[in-house]
């Protein structure tokens, strides 16, 4: 059984999608293992609540399994990220959440480095919180593209597909966000010197 699951790890998304449509539960498990964590991170950008993001993404995979036969998609990755974005936006609309902060990403810091002493861990967490505070000052679209690029490690063409914008627009937004981020960090540094 393990050898069969291991063979699935080598399969492309297209192959897994074909197997999924053929009622192959191991294909679903492989897709889940491949995309669950990135989708949770991506969704938490919108929700500011990692636990809620996990719950919504788990539901997304249940729906994927329930609708596997009717699926008419070419890219499972694009489908999952667009679905995750839509689910998050629907959740925001339903709960009227504000998406201006990223405070619930503290779980990223929960994974500590054994080589770091408590002082270094504290400084690391403070730095992380300062960076998030600065990122939260960016315009919403710039923040979204920056986090998708740097946190979720998505390619520019994937970001463009998910957001429904051109690759050139993604590049421009990414450039502007980095430029604004440098300016904001520079302002923070000047404030700290006074």
The pLDDT of residue 127 is: 64
The pLDDT of residue 185 is: 76
Write out the H or E segment, with its range, that includes residue 94.
helix 76-95
Tokens of 91: 């959740």
CA–CA dist 35, 57 (Å, integer):
10
CA–CA dist 19, 144 (Å, integer):
33
The widest CA-to-CA distance across the chain, in whole angstroms, is 65
Please state, rounded to an integer, the average pLDDT across all residues of the chain: 79
> Which residues, 6 or more positions from 149, have their beta carbon under 8 angstroms from its beta carbon?
156, 159, 170, 174
Structural contact between residues 102 and 132, judged by C-beta atoms closer than 8 angstroms = yes
Helix (H, G, I), strand (E, B) or coil at 53: helix
CATH of 1-101, picked from 3.50.50.60, 1.10.1740.10, 3.40.50.620, 2.60.40.2550, is 1.10.1740.10
Structural contact between residues 54 and 62, judged by C-beta atoms closer than 8 angstroms = no
* Domain boundaries, given as residue ranges, for the chain: 1-101
**Range of weakest confidence among 30-44, 50-64, 146-160:** 146-160
The pLDDT of residue 80 is: 93
Percentage of the chain exceeding pLDDT 90: 28
Tokens of 1: 């059984």
Kindly report, residue by residue over 4-47, the tens digit of the pLDDT: 678 888 899 999 999 999 999 999 999 999 999 989 988 888 88
């Amino acid at each position: 059984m393990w050898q069969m699951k291991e063979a699935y790890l080598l399969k492309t998304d297209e192959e897994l999608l074909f197997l999924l449509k053929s009622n192959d539960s191991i294909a679903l498990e492989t897709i889940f293992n491949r995309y669950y964590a990135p989708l949770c991170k991506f969704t938490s950008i919108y929700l500011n609540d990692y636990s809620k993001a996990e719950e919504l993404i788990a539901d997304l995979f249940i729906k994927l399994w329930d609708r596997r036969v009717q699926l008419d998609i070419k890219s499972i990755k694009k489908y999952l990220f667009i679905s995750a974005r839509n689910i998050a936006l629907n959740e925001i609309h339903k709960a009227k959440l504000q998406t201006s902060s990223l405070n619930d990403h503290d779980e990223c810091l929960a994974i500590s480095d054994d080589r770091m002493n408590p002082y270094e861990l504290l400084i690391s967490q403070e730095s992380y919180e300062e960076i998030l505070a600065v990122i939260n000052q960016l315009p919403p679209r710039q923040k979204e593209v920056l986090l998708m690029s740097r946190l979720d490690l998505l390619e520019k063409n994937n970001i463009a597909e998910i957001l429904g914008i051109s690759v050139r627009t993604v590049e421009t937004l990414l450039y502007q966000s980095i430029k604004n981020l440098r300016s904001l960090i520079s302002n923070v540094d000047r404030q700290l010197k006074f």
